Amino acid sequence: MKCPYCSSDNTRVIDSRPADDNYSIRRRRLCDDCAKRFTTYEKVETIPLIIIKKDNTREQYNRSKIEDGVLRACHKRPVSVNQINQLIDEVETEIFNMEEKEIPSSVIGELVMDKLKDLEAVAYVRFASVYREFKDVNSFVEELKKVLDK
């Protein structure tokens, strides 16, 4: 592992422990050349997951796309970064537990909406309005009624 400070290959692990999610290992490393410490994370490599989009094009799974959508939906709402990361981790776990090589984007969108509905109602409606492509006020009101009936 190269040192991020001096680019030396002469580094060693001084501490290893499971990371918060228990799906990765956190390693503290020490550079023997510059004596600086840094942290690395080791994760199990998963099968490349392909997402089938609405227009039937395919692209590789990208966590940041889910993050962007959830962050936009939660903008100026009382939702912490930890809650957002936990939501995304839960969605990701469910996706990878399906053990499919290709998953429609609609499945991911529904998973995110289910999680957001339990987390924050306004963020849920914001996400749903973009995801379901509301064309008029009536479709927006119908979604609000679903939330209010809950």
| Model confidence pLDDT, tens digit, residues 40-63 | 988 876 668 899 998 999 999 998
The answer on pLDDT for 149 being more than 80 is no
| Model confidence pLDDT, tens digit, residues 77-131 | 999 999 999 999 999 889 988 888 999 999 999 999 999 988 988 898 888 888 7
Query: Is 97 found in the same domain as 145?
Result: yes
Distance CA 104, CA 45 (A): 21
Q: Say if 2 falls within a structural domain.
A: no
Query: Is 87 found in the same domain as 15?
Result: no
Query: Is 27 found in the same domain as 84?
Result: no
What mean pLDDT comes out for the span 15-37? Answer: 89
Predicted local confidence at residue 146, as pLDDT: 75
Which amino acid is it at 108? Answer: I
Predicted local confidence at residue 38, as pLDDT: 96
Instruction: For residue 5, count other CB atoms closer than 10 A to its CB.
Output: 13
- Looking at the DSSP bridge assignments, the partners of residue 60 are 50
Residue 97 structural domain: 50-149
Q: Say if 86 falls within a structural domain.
A: yes
The answer on pLDDT for 150 being more than 70 is no
Calculated CA dihedral for residues 58, 86, 124, 100, nearest 10 degrees: 30
Instruction: For residue 50, count other CB atoms closer than 10 A to its CB.
Output: 13
**What total number of domains does the chain contain?**
2
User: Whose structure tokens read 């100026």?
Assistant: 76
Query: Is 34 found in the same domain as 63?
Result: no
Distance CA 19, CA 14 (A): 15
